[in-house]
Chains A and B, each alone.
Chain A
Amino acid sequence: MANDNYGASSIQILEGLEAVRKRPGMYIGSTDSRGLHQLVWEIVDNAVDEALAGFCKNITVTIKQDNSIKVEDDGRGLPVGPHKSGQDVLNVIFTVLHAGGKFSEDGAYKTAGGLHGVGASVVNALSEWVEVKSYKNGNVYHQRFENGGKKFPKEIENLGPTRKHGTEVWFKPDHTIFSTTLYNYQTIKERLKESAYLIKNLTLTLIDERTKTEDVFCYENGISEYAEYLCGSYNKILEKTIYFEQELQKINVEFSIQYLSNGYGENIHSFVNNVRTRDAGSHEVGFKTALTKVFNEFAYKLGVLKEKDSPFEGPDVREGLCAVLSLKVPESILEFEGQTKDKLGTPLAKPVVEQVVTDKLKIYFTENQAVIQDLLQRALQARNAREAARKARDTARLIKSKTKLEQNLSGKLSPASTKDARINELFLVEGDSAGGSAKQGRDRRFQAILPLRGKVLNTEKASVEDVLKNEELNTIIYTIGASFGNNFDIKKCNYNKVIIMTDADVDGSHIQILLLTFFFRYMTELIKAGKVYIALPPLYKITQQGVKNPKVLYVYSDEEKEEVTKDMKKYAIQRYKGLGEMNASQLWETTMDPKNRTLIQVKIEDIADAEQSVSVLMGDDVEPRKQWIDNNVSFAEIDDFKVEGNE
């Protein structure tokens, strides 16, 4: 327990001051602005420790005109009197390193932020001068140290009687040590505010005499208010901030929880003995573990997660979290990792915090089911978002790894014999039966044939994974050789023309749009570069009759048929419904021979329109498609299907 007798005997002398001036970094981290402010914290922390021990209600920090700092508290006052080392105890505190009242639990403080007993002496060592006043035992004691604590009177001056109690430390940082000696009001303000939150009802006043500014901080509800403050101006989810405190195994645990309605990420501020542990540590680990555990327990119990679902992960339950965790750990087991007290190392802190938080939250959520229901729904949303993001990442990775697609073409492609990307053509042919005649009828020097089996996968409805698993599309991607999606590189394209050759019937049309959807979604550049074509097979074969050398004509449209047959007396018409109906030589002559054939080059006029029509016609949503059909398809009109593209 804290000992009221904070007297001369409490102070032990450990070392001298010169080392501090030589290596200030070791004690205050740096000699820049951060180190400069560290001096203030050292003194303020001493005052706060006094408050923590329950002896101090008010602390005032004043930034003077000359950037010197005065810290006053109404605690017990620094001890004065002879110390067993022979010096006055006040001098010992300010001139000897590792002289403090915080080394053991039965000392003046049970728990304290100041740990190494260096605070006051380090400040002294790095200051031009330090003036100390101790209001104690009805007297005011005064001492002045100069030149980094090297020069001071042996005797403590007694200024006379007083009814006040407390300590006043006024110091001016040494400009030869620090790169800057200019104090930042805002920095000190934030820090004092933090301390005010951590100790309920402690009033902290900050006065800046340079600008005549003043701020007073005092919080009745402590860290609850802190958590709410962390939420800033965003909407808070919980009507009442969750706050609990419990002591377990001599560690006092205090925590508060609030959630942001539209926040991302998490904001946990943790403290040990009122010192911010910026790099977290064992206590935060315990807190997070408990939170995840309790959320999952309720999620399964309330059916938010089904048995087969995997549990929530930490980030899911911490999405939008604003929490403050404050521990009071006795000195005997207090451990930090690293020089500055930014990371708690005490192993016991983890299980203790975990148990306290688990117990308290379980009871709280049991009694406030609406709260946990709400939070679980949010966790679920967070998880869905996380999974979607992960999927997107995986897909990106998959695409990367697939740029070198496996070379299994299942022997379907009949490649061209030359490899000139400037002239080569790739025919995508509907069905194996037509593929056969295309293979026989082609000019193998520059025409490659890839037969496609049946209907191609609708890429508008399929995921990237499914597209890559699809043998047909996979083969097309590899054959074209320019990858796909964002990685598509038109320079690597193996062909000058990619020609879609299907039957002149509705299923052929369907295959055309399925392939165009694929090219639009995965190889937009190929279309933009004008490399995608649709072959136009003839609709009719017209054989003249009743003459000696009958003419054979292929026509590609009904209009053309009328035109051609106008002057013929007698003729026979054969209608081509499928590519398979043609012999190889006929197919070459009519559809594949560059001299005779007609191709339709696919272009994009307006990318937004194209996007719109692909997503409406091929997408997942039925309703817009139905609407489109109702508005655009004239069911009453009796027409024979014909291939468009003839002006």
Chain B
Amino acid sequence: MAKKKDVINEFIDQKVQSEYLEKIMGDRFGAYSKYIIQDRAIPDVRDGLKPVQRRILYAMQSVGMVAGSPYKKSARIVGEVIGKFHPHGDQSVYEALVRMSQDFKINVPLIDMQGNNGSIDGDGAAAMRYTEARLSKAAMYLLKDMEKKTVPFVPNYDDSEVEPVILPAKFPNLLVNGSDGIASGYATNIPPHNLAEAIDLTIARIKNPNLTYEEALEIMPGPDFPTGGIIEDTEDLHQALRTGRGRVVIRAKAEIIKNNIVITEIPYGVNKAVLVKKIDSVKDSKGVDGITEIRDESDKEGLRIVIETKEQANPEVILNYLYKATDLQVNFSYNTVAIVDRSPRTLGVLDIIDAYILHEKEVIINRSNFEVDKMTKRLHIVEGFHKMTSIINEVVDTIKNSKNKANAKENIMRLFGFTELQAEAIVMLQLYRLTNTDIKEMEDEKRELEKNIKHLKHVLSSEEALKNVIIDEMSEIKEMIPSPRRTVIEESLEKREINEEELIIHEDVRVIITKDGYVKKMSLKAYQASLGVSTPGLKEDDYIIFDKQCNTMDSLILCITLFIKDNVVIFFKTRS
């Protein structure tokens, strides 16, 4: 047991701090929730990206997997992202990559993926060793001008790289592509909106910062889902756009062709395979009568689900039932939460637009400053060249008589008054630049630079000019990425409700009413069978006061002593 004693002795002077559970829970949870909210599940209001998405886009750009370049294996991208910026699981990164490429999930895919990138049937993407990817054209607009000191950079997790905290985002990506995520205490669910509408709304708001929600709704009347469908224009929707909380009803687009219901668009977020299965189970459970077959006829032409119905059945009625009983109609619940100044906020559409405009102004100002700097430097050099051309022979002589490069620079600076920068450029100048045409070009460049600098300075000093730059650039994107609206907004879906009367089958029935107020409807067959038998179910001391053959479409007007009229329609569904 000596050994054990040793072990115990080893324990004596160990460092043990104690902490209370209450504090540990609070500290740890606080750190965790803060991280999850800020850095994992909730997108930034300005570029609409979660950190993992931003890192993917940035990593791809920095290794040249840009629009138009050849596709590269997804595994390389994932490795790049994990290794440089995002030390987490590879699957979660790949999933994020795939989602950004799915045209049924987001309006403007940011990733152009080659290979199976999943489907609306819920099929997963092929493994990342199979698929290849590059940035899409739209993604390039999110990343544009990043090299021009437009956005701040921070060191990565091991201080070996830097990464942007935000992308320049030349279009309001949060609205356009939407987002969803669950953090801790906070969650977000933002639908996609139409790119052109979002840009128009941004421009309208830039032009008129007092734009009202009514006016905003005229420009962007609601979400626009990549899967199309029909949404209802309700007060709920307006409220959702105004406050960030609310819901909108999305309905599949269906057509009735002869006796068939043909569905060509399904609600956003609905898994088609599951939907078809559900409709099939409705057929089998006889929730509604009359469906004979359901076929998923989707192919390269697009989505197409055909529901065949019996000849006698009313497909309108069946469709109406299916809207209620299946995901042919769903509710989308807005929970517009995004990170603003590092904190989660629930935002209305205009709040998002305003945050975006603020960001864009900052980006343009940063870029203009960067360019003015660069151009001023160039102008200075060009001015040096210009001055030199007039005294070219003296300059050449001076250089010829100098000991070395450094001495040459010194000499021309001393003798002709060039600055260090200009002197350096002059001594490095290639001789062909002294030809006539080149000298003329230099003069043109000088004029051009002067003009541009003047313009940029104007942009930097005039709010109006700044706004115009944003408007021009956004208008260009609107043209470059055509985005017709796919989701139809209808005044009211309730108008399509089927009157209950339409559900009634026309037939003759026997109606019996008793003194105590019992009404019984029997089929003629059942009535004939009961003839001669004492009326079953008749209460003690009750007796029949009415016994006639009627049609189910007849209206029965019953007069009782207390009320004058009570219009009773005998429904098909009435059980006897």
Q: Which residues of A contact B (CB under 8 A)?
A: 363, 367, 418, 420, 422-423, 445-446, 506-507, 509-510, 512-513, 516-517, 520, 527, 530, 533-534, 575, 577-578, 594-595, 597-606, 609-610, 613-614, 617-618, 622, 625-626, 628-629, 632-633, 635-636, 638, 641, 644-647
Does B17 touch A at the CB level, under 8 Å?
Answer: yes
Contact A506 B31, beta carbon cutoff 8 Å: yes
Contact A617 B25, beta carbon cutoff 8 Å: yes
Contact A601 B16, beta carbon cutoff 8 Å: yes
Instruction: Tell me which residues across on chain B come within 8 A of A632, comparing CB atoms.
Output: 26, 30
Across chains A and B, which 3 residue pairs bring their CB atoms closest together, nearest first? A635-B343, A509-B28, A626-B185
A633's contact among B3, B16, B34, B158, by CB below 8 Å, is which? Answer: B34
B14's contact among A597, A605, A618, A644, by CB below 8 Å, is which? Answer: A597
Minimum CB–CB distance for A92 against chain B, Å: 45
- Which one of B4-12, B213-221, B483-491 contacts A? B4-12
Name A536's closest neighbour in chain B (CB-CB).
Answer: B17
Contact A445 B33, beta carbon cutoff 8 Å: no
Name A366's closest neighbour in chain B (CB-CB).
Answer: B518
Contact A513 B25, beta carbon cutoff 8 Å: yes
Separation of A422 and B516 alpha carbons in the complex (Å)? 84
Instruction: Tell me which residues across on chain B come within 8 A of A609, comparing CB atoms.
Output: 22
Does B539 touch A at the CB level, under 8 Å?
Answer: yes
Contact B24 A635, beta carbon cutoff 8 Å: no
Separation of A482 and B3 alpha carbons in the complex (Å)? 27
Instruction: Tell me which residues across on chain B come within 8 A of A636, comparing CB atoms.
Output: 341-343
Contact A613 B3, beta carbon cutoff 8 Å: no
Does B35 touch A at the CB level, under 8 Å?
Answer: yes
Minimum CB–CB distance for B196 against chain A, Å: 34
Does B32 touch A at the CB level, under 8 Å?
Answer: yes
Contact B185 A513, beta carbon cutoff 8 Å: no
Known contacts A513-B24, A641-B35; A603 and B15 CB within 8 A of each other? no
B184's contact among A534, A598, A625, by CB below 8 Å, is which? Answer: A625
Minimum CB–CB distance for A417 against chain B, Å: 11
Render B124-167 as a binary contact track against A, CB cut-off 8 A, 1 for contact: 00000000000000000000000000000000011100000000
Instruction: Tell me which residues across on chain A come within 8 A of B159, comparing CB atoms.
Output: 575
Given A613-B21, A633-B37, list of 10 further CB < 8 A pairs?
Answer: A422-B8, A506-B35, A509-B28, A598-B16, A602-B24, A604-B20, A625-B185, A633-B34, A644-B28, A646-B17
Contact B26 A613, beta carbon cutoff 8 Å: yes
Contact A602 B19, beta carbon cutoff 8 Å: yes
Contact A599 B21, beta carbon cutoff 8 Å: no
Contact A606 B4, beta carbon cutoff 8 Å: no
Minimum CB–CB distance for B138 against chain A, Å: 30
Instruction: Tell me which residues across on chain A come within 8 A of B476, comparing CB atoms.
Output: none
Name B34's closest neighbour in chain A (CB-CB).
Answer: A633
Render B168-186 as a binary contact track against A, CB cut-off 8 A, 1 for contact: 0000000000000000111
Separation of A625 and B25 alpha carbons in the complex (Å)? 13
Does B416 touch A at the CB level, under 8 Å?
Answer: no
Does B228 touch A at the CB level, under 8 Å?
Answer: no
Separation of A577 and B35 alpha carbons in the complex (Å)? 15
B31's contact among A423, A509, A527, by CB below 8 Å, is which? Answer: A509
Separation of A641 and B28 alpha carbons in the complex (Å)? 10
Does B413 touch A at the CB level, under 8 Å?
Answer: no
A594's contact among B14, B17, B38, B87, by CB below 8 Å, is which? Answer: B14
Contact B11 A512, beta carbon cutoff 8 Å: no
Interface centre among A578, A606, A625, A629 (most CB of B within 10 A): A629
Separation of A510 and B24 alpha carbons in the complex (Å)? 11
Minimum CB–CB distance for A435 against chain B, Å: 17
Separation of A548 and B184 alpha carbons in the complex (Å)? 50
Contact A423 B4, beta carbon cutoff 8 Å: yes
Minimum CB–CB distance for B93 against chain A, Å: 15
Does B222 touch A at the CB level, under 8 Å?
Answer: no
Minimum CB–CB distance for B22 against chain A, Å: 5
Contact B35 A644, beta carbon cutoff 8 Å: no
Separation of A546 and B205 alpha carbons in the complex (Å)? 61
Instruction: Tell me which residues across on chain B come within 8 A of A363, comparing CB atoms.
Output: 539
Separation of A595 and B17 alpha carbons in the complex (Å)? 14
- In the complex, the number of residue pairs spanning A and B with C-beta atoms less than 8 Å apart equals 143
Known contacts A635-B34, A635-B343, A635-B344; A512 and B28 CB within 8 A of each other? yes
Minimum CB–CB distance for A545 against chain B, Å: 17
Contact A509 B32, beta carbon cutoff 8 Å: yes
Does B323 touch A at the CB level, under 8 Å?
Answer: no
Q: Which residues of B contact A (CB under 8 A)?
A: 3-4, 7-8, 10-11, 13-22, 24-38, 87, 157-159, 184-186, 341-344, 516, 539
Separation of A446 and B37 alpha carbons in the complex (Å)? 40
Instruction: Tell me which residues across on chain A come within 8 A of B28, comparing CB atoms.
Output: 509-510, 512-513, 644
Minimum CB–CB distance for B365 against chain A, Å: 23
Contact A577 B539, beta carbon cutoff 8 Å: no
Instruction: Tell me which residues across on chain B come within 8 A of A367, comparing CB atoms.
Output: 516
Separation of A599 and B10 alpha carbons in the complex (Å)? 14
B17's contact among A509, A520, A600, A613, by CB below 8 Å, is which? Answer: A600
Contact B33 A629, beta carbon cutoff 8 Å: yes
Contact B24 A512, beta carbon cutoff 8 Å: yes
Known contacts A577-B87, A601-B18; A635 and B32 CB within 8 A of each other? no
Name A634's closest neighbour in chain B (CB-CB).
Answer: B34
Interface centre among B10, B11, B14, B22 (most CB of A within 10 A): B22
Contact B3 A594, beta carbon cutoff 8 Å: no
Contact B186 A626, beta carbon cutoff 8 Å: yes
Name B539's closest neighbour in chain A (CB-CB).
Answer: A363
Contact B343 A594, beta carbon cutoff 8 Å: no
A599's contact among B4, B15, B157, B344, by CB below 8 Å, is which? Answer: B15
Separation of A577 and B158 alpha carbons in the complex (Å)? 9
Separation of A527 and B343 alpha carbons in the complex (Å)? 35
Separation of A600 and B16 alpha carbons in the complex (Å)? 6
Contact B157 A577, beta carbon cutoff 8 Å: yes
Contact B21 A602, beta carbon cutoff 8 Å: yes
Minimum CB–CB distance for B473 against chain A, Å: 31
Name B10's closest neighbour in chain A (CB-CB).
Answer: A594
Separation of A530 and B22 alpha carbons in the complex (Å)? 15
- A–B Cβ pairs within 8 angstroms, 5 of them: A533-B16, A598-B15, A617-B25, A636-B341, A644-B28
Instruction: Tell me which residues across on chain A come within 8 A of B20, comparing CB atoms.
Output: 602-605, 610
Instruction: Tell me which residues across on chain A come within 8 A of B31, comparing CB atoms.
Output: 506, 509, 641
Minimum CB–CB distance for A351 against chain B, Å: 19
Name B186's closest neighbour in chain A (CB-CB).
Answer: A626
Minimum CB–CB distance for B183 against chain A, Å: 9
Separation of A625 and B3 alpha carbons in the complex (Å)? 50
Contact B19 A629, beta carbon cutoff 8 Å: no
Instruction: Tell me which residues across on chain A come within 8 A of B35, comparing CB atoms.
Output: 506, 641
Minimum CB–CB distance for B8 against chain A, Å: 6
Name B159's closest neighbour in chain A (CB-CB).
Answer: A575
Instruction: Tell me which residues across on chain B come within 8 A of A533, comparing CB atoms.
Output: 16
Instruction: Tell me which residues across on chain B come within 8 A of A602, comparing CB atoms.
Output: 18-21, 24
Name A627's closest neighbour in chain B (CB-CB).
Answer: B185
Name A517's closest neighbour in chain B (CB-CB).
Answer: B25
Separation of A539 and B341 alpha carbons in the complex (Å)? 28
Contact A603 B21, beta carbon cutoff 8 Å: yes
Minimum CB–CB distance for A257 against chain B, Å: 19
Known contacts A510-B28, A513-B28, A577-B157; A647 and B184 CB within 8 A of each other? no
Minimum CB–CB distance for B409 against chain A, Å: 37
A610's contact among B8, B13, B22, B27, by CB below 8 Å, is which? Answer: B22
Interface centre among A367, A516, A644 (most CB of B within 10 A): A644
Separation of A644 and B28 alpha carbons in the complex (Å)? 8
Interface centre among B24, B26, B157 (most CB of A within 10 A): B24
Contact B17 A601, beta carbon cutoff 8 Å: yes
Separation of A577 and B25 alpha carbons in the complex (Å)? 21
Minimum CB–CB distance for B59 against chain A, Å: 19
Contact A516 B10, beta carbon cutoff 8 Å: no
Minimum CB–CB distance for A181 against chain B, Å: 52
Instruction: Tell me which residues across on chain B come within 8 A of A601, comparing CB atoms.
Output: 16-19
Contact B22 A606, beta carbon cutoff 8 Å: yes
Contact A629 B14, beta carbon cutoff 8 Å: no
A575's contact among B11, B158, B516, by CB below 8 Å, is which? Answer: B158
Separation of A594 and B13 alpha carbons in the complex (Å)? 8
